[in-house]
Structure 1
Amino acid sequence: MRVAAPARRPIGGIDVNVDSVDRAVRLLRHARRILVFTGAGISTESGIPDFRGPNGVWRTRDPARYTLQRYVAESAVRRERWLDRLESPMDRVEPNAGHLAAARLQACGRAPVVVTQNIDGLHQRAGSRDVIELHGTSLEVVCLDCARRLPVGVVLDRVREGDEDPHCELCGGLLKTATISFGQNLIAEDLERAMAEAEDSDVCLAVGSTLSVWPAAGVPVRTVHGGGRLVVVNDGETELDGMADVIVPGRVGAMLPPLVDAVIAGSEAEPAGHG
């Protein structure tokens, strides 16, 4: 007996398994509370390179040079990082369809919180209001001694004017973008809140992440261990594929908007938590 191949349809120019999309929609539509968890893959279509993909940053750079310890110890490393930040496309890019879709899902009340590993602020610019930035933000600068925070533009102006290794004007301490570097602990309060949100959600929608960076990857794991479901939308395999209930492969900007639109349309016709 010949088994029929799974039905497929084009979405965003990609030939997609209809069954996986439909199952994802059903899980999300019937969820009481959805947690959106995002990684670098949601921002690549805005022009920000990811880290671990085929063209990722770590393909050409040594992560060992990006530790907090080397930043503190070596002025040459600090000068490199400030030059990198000055030349970064982060201040010139715009949110894409994936960020806007996540914001729509939050606005309709289905996903009150977005947890992101990204440091680009694009979720907020897309309209998301409650965003937990596990790896910090590149839009602010912090003094490593007195904890004073500044808009990044203020410090970048100093770098443009020739201050290649800027220090705090109040205490003389080292200034650093308010991001989490290798060898630096996550902000405990942010991680604890993300884990609490994961535990309180019955579906984690993991978007644009290889789910390989810990402890951040523990967020979707917490949802599953709490009895919830995991839906993955990613252009490539993830380390938690074996834990996922549904995997929707493809570019986030192509796959997430129609998925969210279908969830919202169904939610308007049927209360959450039923079916």
Structure 2
Amino acid sequence: MAGAMRNGADDGQAAPDEDFARFEAMLGRAGRVVAFTGAGLSTEAGIPDFRSPGGRWTRTAPIPFGDFLADEEARRETWRRRFAMDGELRQARPTRGHRTIASWVRAGISPGVITQNVDNLHQASGVPAAAIVEVHGNATYAACLDCRRRYEIEALRLRFEASGEAPLCAACGGFVKSATIAFGQPMPKEAMTRAVELACSSDLFVVVGSSLLVHPAAGLPRLARRNGAQLVIVNREATPCDDDADLLLRGEIGDILSHFER
């Protein structure tokens, strides 16, 4: 890895000017910039992540998809947890990092954004929904697992509070679930296909705030690299792909990306 920067989480120092200049030059040359975003981008918006020390999964184990399907109490608990997230999701606003990524799309240098986040903040930042690939789904609405009918969260909350039962689809009677991908739930084929296409066709692949621990999505940076893209990782902490990066920018994501808004 040539010229990668190792600071921020390591020594608390600001990014050196030469690394900013290198990234600026990369952006200037690139015709197809694809951002791949993870929880670290949205923690600056006040949304806690799941995996880090003190994250949700260190306090409460996730409910596997098989349990959701098999057990009514697991379905009720899944919905109780989802409704408990409402305040965070409703209050969150796009960060400087979100706005910078949106500016790349508006400027025409980025054909799309791949995200592991489920908070809808890329849409709120101005990225068209058609240009966003949500590989882990979206927590701001729900869908029937059988017929895919969409449901709004607030309407489901009212039903849940009135009945105490996990919601069923009014159209087909199937289980209704937040439109996110749970542990053990199959990855969305269409989203993963689009993500692979974006990664393979990119000439600059920018990882932003992802631990790169959750597969298969975590394999996308190396896939992009193998297909000729330059790889930049912007993150507070080390990732398993750091040694593959052409440039590593370590530090607060908003502080770094705000220098590169178009």
What's the TM-score, normalizing by structure 2? 0.89
User: How many equivalent residue pairs?
Assistant: 249
Unaligned residue ranges in structure 1 (runs of 5+)? 1-5, 265-275
Question: Hey, what does 1:78 align to over in structure 2?
Answer: 75
Distance 2:13 2:91 in 1: 28
SS of the counterpart of 1:37? strand
Alpha carbons 1:33, 1:111 under 8 Å: kept: yes
1:125 aligned to 2:138?
Answer: no
Distance 1:87 1:164 in 2: 16
Of stretches 84-93 and 240-249 in structure 1, the one that deviates more from structure 2 is: 84-93
Question: Hey, what does 2:106 align to over in structure 1?
Answer: 107
Distance 2:163 2:28 in 1: 54
Distance 2:104 2:54 in 1: 30
Render the CA deviation track for 1:19-60: whole Å, top value 9, x for unaligned. Answer: 322222222221121001100111001111112223322222
What's the TM-score, normalizing by structure 1? 0.85
SS of the counterpart of 2:206? strand
Task: Output the amino acid matched with 1:165.
Answer: A
Distance 1:245 1:175 in 2: 43
Alpha carbons 1:94, 1:122 under 8 Å: kept: yes
SS of the counterpart of 1:124? helix
SS of the counterpart of 1:205? strand
Alpha carbons 1:115, 1:132 under 8 Å: kept: yes
Distance 1:162 1:101 in 2: 44
Deviation, 1:162, is 3.8
1:257 aligned to 2:255?
Answer: no
Render the CA deviation track for 1:170-211: whole Å, top value 9, x for unaligned. Answer: 222111011111111111111111111111111101101011
Unaligned residue ranges in structure 2 (runs of 5+)? none
- Please show how residues 154-173 of structure 1 align to structure 2 within 5 Å: 154-173=155-174
Question: Hey, what does 2:235 align to over in structure 1?
Answer: 234
Question: Hey, what does 1:186 align to over in structure 2?
Answer: 187
Alpha carbons 1:82, 1:164 under 8 Å: kept: no
Distance 1:219 1:55, change over 3 A: same
Question: Hey, what does 2:248 align to over in structure 1?
Answer: 247
Distance 1:86 1:191 in 2: 27
Question: Hey, what does 2:223 align to over in structure 1?
Answer: 222
1:21 aligned to 2:23?
Answer: no
Task: Output the amino acid matched with 1:45.
Answer: E
Alpha carbons 1:204, 1:231 under 8 Å: kept: yes
Alpha carbons 1:33, 1:201 under 8 Å: kept: yes
Question: Hey, what does 1:270 align to over in structure 2?
Answer: none
- Please show how residues 42-57 of structure 1 align to structure 2 within 5 Å: 42-57=41-56
Render the CA deviation track for 1:234-254: whole Å, top value 9, x for unaligned. Answer: 011111111111010112121
- Report percent identity of matched pairs: 38
Task: Output the amino acid matched with 2:133.
Answer: I
Distance 2:18 2:237 in 1: 18
Render the CA deviation track for 1:73-123: whole Å, top value 9, x for unaligned. Answer: 122221111111111111221111111111111111111201101111000
Distance 1:131 1:193 in 2: 10
Alpha carbons 2:210, 2:235 under 8 Å: kept: yes
Moved over 3 A (4+): none
Alpha carbons 2:31, 2:110 under 8 Å: kept: no
Distance 2:257 2:50 in 1: 21
Distance 1:108 1:79 in 2: 44
1:195 aligned to 2:192?
Answer: no
Larger Cα-atom Rg: 1
